[in-house]
C-alpha cells in the first residue's frame, strides 16, 4: 500500500493535436509501464475510431510507477483526456478524480481556444496546473511567445520553463519531477467512511458493468456491499483493480487511489456516472459533489434501414450509452422511417462518432435525421414545451413565441482573418461581444451565436476561412426569443417527416432551395417524375423535379443470356432493399446524409 505522499493523480489537458496522447505515450515508456515489444503509438487510444481520426474520444486511466530523483517510487495515476469541444464533459469528469493537470501547449501554435477553456475548467476544479511547452523540436517553435501567452491569456506565471518534445522524449523526465514536486498528494485516509467517485464506466459482455473510480476516502475491497448514493441501489463488489494500463485485480483500493470495480451490476442503466459509492453497511452522510450534469444539446433520430434491425439497434444504443453518459436515447417512430430512437448528443462530432460506432461495432446500417437543437416553445395558453424534434411542433396558431439556445464562442484567429471570421459569424446570425488580444498576430473574438447555426458545418467553414488556423471553443449562453419556423420537405407531394427541420425565417428560402437541389441529385430517377418541394406551413417556398427514367440495367446484355440478365435485375432489387420506400419513392441512405450538407 502506497503512502498518500507517494501518489500523484493528474490529467493531461490541451487543445486538439497539441500532443497529449504522445506525451502520455512517453510517460508510459519512461515509467516502463508497457513492455517495449507491446508498445505502439497512442497506446491509450484503444478504439479503432480514435486511432483513425487521431483524436481521443474516451478518458483512459492508467497507473504507473515512477522512480523519482529523491529515490522514492511514486504511483502516477494518469487520466488521458479528449481535447475536442464536444468532449469537454469527459475532461471535467476526469478532473474531478485528480489533484493536478499538465497543460500541454504546442509552441508552434501557441495558446488556442481549448487551451483557454481547459485551463479554466482545471482552475474551477481547484487543480494545480503545470503548463508545459511541447514540440520544441519543431523549427517554428516559439517558446518565448508561448510563455507570454500563457501569462497574458491564461494568467499563469510559469514557475519553471518546462520545454519538452513529447515526440523525442526530451524534457519529459524533468516534467515528471515537476509532477512529483508541484502536484499535491491526495488527501483522505483508509480508515474513514468510504466515498468514491464513479468517473467513468465501460460495459463488458462477460463481466457486466466496469466502473472507473477514484477513492476519496475509506477503502474499497472485493466482497464489500456498497451503496450507490444517487440511485440508491446496492451491489456487491466482485473485483477491484488498477489500470496497468490493462486491468489488473488488486486486494483493495484505498483513499487517493484510482482504479475500477466489477460488481453484480449487469445493466448499464443501474450505474450513474458521477455517483458516489459508499458502504451499504455504514454509509456516508453526504455524497461527493457531483459532476456538472451534462445535457445533450443536439438531437437526431436514429433509425435502422431495415425494420428487422430494430432490436439490434436498441441493444447497440443501450450498450453505447453506458460507455458514454452524455449520450441519451428514447424510442420514437417516424411515418417514413418506422421505429427508431431519438438520441441526444453534446455536439456534432459526438453525434458522428456515436453513429459511426453503431455502424462499426454493431454492424448496423442506420439512417440519422437532420440534427436539431432544443427549442423552448411558449404557447398562448401560458404553457411551454421543450422541443427536440421539429415534428412535434404544435400548431403555429397556438404558439406565442419560440426561444432558441445560444452559445458564447471564443474564436482565436490571426488578425488578417478577422474580417472573414466576422463575416461568417454574422452570416450565422451571430454578433461580436468583445475582442481580446493574444499577441501581435492573433486575437480572441468573443461572439454570441445561435447553437443551431453552428451545428453542421460552422467549424469546417471557420477552418477554411482562416486557412486552418482559427480555433474555437464554446459554452452555452441561455435562450433568446427567435423567429424560427418549421420547414417541411415533400417528395411526390408527401411530407417526409425525417427531413423536417427548424430554420430561422430569414433563411428558410435559401435552405429550402439547397435541400431540394441536394435531394434531386441524391434520389435516383424513378419511372415517374418526382416533385421535391420545401414548404413553410403548407406554403411551397422551393421546388425541384426529378425527371422520370427507367434505368434499364439489362440494356447492355444483347441476346439471350437469361441468367446474366437475372443476375443484374436481382442486383438492382438488392440495391433497392437498401433504400427507404416513402410512398412510391425510394430514398437512398445518401439522401439523408446529403441533406445534412445543405447550407445553413
Smallest gap from Cβ 281 to ligand GTP, in A, equals 42
SS3 label, residue 372: strand
- Closer CB to ligand GTP, 136 or 322, in the complex: 136
- Closer CB to ligand GTP, 125 or 134, in the complex: 134
- Closer CB to ligand GTP, 90 or 488, in the complex: 90
- Closer CB to ligand GTP, 84 or 195, in the complex: 84
Question: Terminal CA-to-CA distance of the chain, rounded, Å?
Answer: 58
Smallest gap from Cβ 109 to ligand GTP, in A, equals 10
Distance CA 282, CA 103 (A): 39
Smallest gap from Cβ 204 to ligand GTP, in A, equals 24
Smallest gap from Cβ 41 to ligand GTP, in A, equals 7
- Closer CB to ligand GTP, 17 or 270, in the complex: 17
Smallest gap from Cβ 57 to ligand GTP, in A, equals 8
Phi, psi of 73 (to 5 degrees): -100, 120
Distance CA 466, CA 434 (A): 19
554-587: b (≥16 Cβ within 10 Å) or e: eeeeeeeeeeeeeebeeeeeeeeeebbebeebbb
CA atoms within 13 A on the CB side of 271: 31
- Among 55, 49, 46, 51, residue whose Cα is nearest residue 20: 55
506 burial class (0-12, 13-18, 19+ CB within 10 angstroms)?
A: exposed
Confirm if 256 and 187 have CB atoms less than 8 A apart.
yes
Distance CA 290, CA 475 (A): 20
Binding-site ranges for ligand GTP (CB under 6 A): 14, 16-22, 54-56, 82-83, 134-135, 137-138, 165-167
26 burial class (0-12, 13-18, 19+ CB within 10 angstroms)?
A: buried
- Closer CB to ligand GTP, 53 or 513, in the complex: 53
- Closer CB to ligand GTP, 55 or 598, in the complex: 55
CA atoms within 13 A on the CB side of 83: 26
Smallest gap from Cβ 24 to ligand GTP, in A, equals 8
- Closer CB to ligand GTP, 56 or 533, in the complex: 56
Smallest gap from Cβ 137 to ligand GTP, in A, equals 5
- Among 157, 110, 124, 158, residue whose Cα is nearest residue 412: 110
Smallest gap from Cβ 21 to ligand GTP, in A, equals 3
Amino acid at each position: 500500500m502506497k503512502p498518500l505522499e507517494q501518489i500523484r493523480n493528474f490529467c493531461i489537458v490541451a487543445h486538439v493535436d497539441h500532443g497529449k496522447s504522445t506525451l502520455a505515450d512517453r510517460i508510459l515508456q519512461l515509467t516502463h509501464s508497457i513492455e517495449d515489444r507491446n508498445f505502439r503509438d497512442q497506446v491509450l487510444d484503444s478504439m479503432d475510431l480514435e486511432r483513425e481520426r487521431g483524436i481521443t474520444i474516451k478518458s483512459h486511466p492508467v497507473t504507473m510507477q515512477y522512480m523519482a530523483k529523491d529515490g522514492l517510487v511514486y504511483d502516477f495515476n494518469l487520466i488521458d483526456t479528449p481535447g475536442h469541444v464536444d468532449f469537454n464533459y469527459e475532461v471535467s469528469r476526469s478532473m474531478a478524480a485528480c489533484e493536478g493537470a499538465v497543460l500541454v501547449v504546442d509552441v508552434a501554435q501557441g495558446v488556442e481556444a481549448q487551451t483557454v477553456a481547459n485551463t479554466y475548467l482545471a482552475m474551477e476544479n481547484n487543480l494545480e496546473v503545470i503548463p508545459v511547452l511541447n514540440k520544441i523540436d519543431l523549427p517554428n517553435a516559439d517558446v518565448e511567445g508561448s510563455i507570454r501567452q500563457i501569462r497574458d491569456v491564461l494568467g499563469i506565471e510559469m514557475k519553471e520553463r518546462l520545454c519538452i518534445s513529447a515526440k523525442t522524449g526530451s524534457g519529459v523526465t524533468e516534467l515528471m519531477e515537476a509532477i512529483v514536486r508541484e502536484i499535491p498528494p491526495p488527501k483522505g485516509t483508509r480508515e474513514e467512511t468510504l466515498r468514491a467517485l464513479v468517473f467513468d464506466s465501460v460495459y463488458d459482455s462477460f463481466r457486466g458493468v466496469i466502473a472507473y473510480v477514484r477513492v476519496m476516502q475509506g477503502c474499497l475491497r472485493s466482497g464489500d456491499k456498497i451503496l450507490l448514493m444517487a440511485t440508491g441501489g446496492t451491489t456487491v463488489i466482485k473485483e477491484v483493480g488498477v489500470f496497468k494500463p490493462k486491468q489488473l485485480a488488486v486486494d483493495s483500493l484505498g483513499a487517493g487511489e484510482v482504479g475500477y470495480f466489477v460488481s453484480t451490476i449487469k445493466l448499464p442503466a443501474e450505474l450513474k456516472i458521477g455517483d458516489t459509492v459508499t458502504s451499504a453497511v455504514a454509509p456516508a452522510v453526504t455524497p461527493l459533489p457531483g459532476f456538472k450534469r451534462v445535457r445533450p444539446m443536439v438531437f437526431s433520430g436514429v433509425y435502422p434501414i431495415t425494420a428487422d434491425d430494430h432490436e439490434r439497434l436498441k441493444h447497440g444504443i443501450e450498450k453505447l450509452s453506458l460507455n458514454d453518459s452524455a449520450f441519451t436515447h428514447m424510442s420514437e417512430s417516424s411515418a417514413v422511417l418506422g421505429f427508431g430512437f431519438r438520441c441526444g448528443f453534446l455536439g456534432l462530432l459526438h453525434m458522428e462518432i456515436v453513429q459511426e460506432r453503431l455502424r462499426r461495432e454493431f454492424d448496423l446500417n442506420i439512417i440519422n435525421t437532420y440534427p436539431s437543437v432544443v427549442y423552448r416553445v411558449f404557447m398562448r395558453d401560458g404553457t411551454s414545451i421543450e422541443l427536440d424534434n421539429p415534428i412535434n411542433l404544435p400548431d403555429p396558431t397556438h404558439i406565442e413565441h419560440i426561444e432558441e439556445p445560444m452559445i458564447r464562442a471564443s474564436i482565436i484567429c490571426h488578425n488578417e482573418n478577422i474580417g472573414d471570421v466576422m463575416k461568417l459569424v454574422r452570416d450565422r446570425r451571430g454578433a461580436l461581444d468583445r475582442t481580446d488580444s493574444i499577441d501581435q498576430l492573433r486575437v480572441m473574438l468573443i461572439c454570441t451565436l445561435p447553437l443551431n447555426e453552428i451545428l453542421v458545418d460552422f467549424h469546417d467553414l471557420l477552418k477554411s476561412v482562416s486557412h486552418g488556423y482559427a480555433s474555437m471553443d464554446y459554452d452555452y449562453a441561455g435562450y433568446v426569443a427567435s423567429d424560427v419556423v418549421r420547414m417541411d420537405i415533400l417528395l411526390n407531394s408527401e411530407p417526409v417527416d425525417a427531413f423536417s427541420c427548424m430554420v430561422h425565417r430569414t433563411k428558410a428560402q435559401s435552405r429550402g432551395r439547397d435541400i431540394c437541389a441536394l435531394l434531386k441529385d441524391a434520389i435516383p430517377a424513378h419511372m415517374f417524375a418526382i416533385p421535391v418541394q420545401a414548404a413553410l406551413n403548407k406554403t411551397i417556398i422551393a421546388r425541384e423535379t426529378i425527371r422520370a427514367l427507367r434505368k434499364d440495367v439489362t440494356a447492355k446484355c444483347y441476346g439471350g443470356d437469361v441468367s446474366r440478365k437475372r443476375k443484374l435485375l436481382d442486383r438492382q432489387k438488392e440495391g433497392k432493399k437498401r433504400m427507404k420506400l416513402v410512398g412510391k419513392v425510394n430514398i437512398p441512405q445518401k439522401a439523408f446524409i446529403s441533406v445534412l450538407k445543405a447550407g445553413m
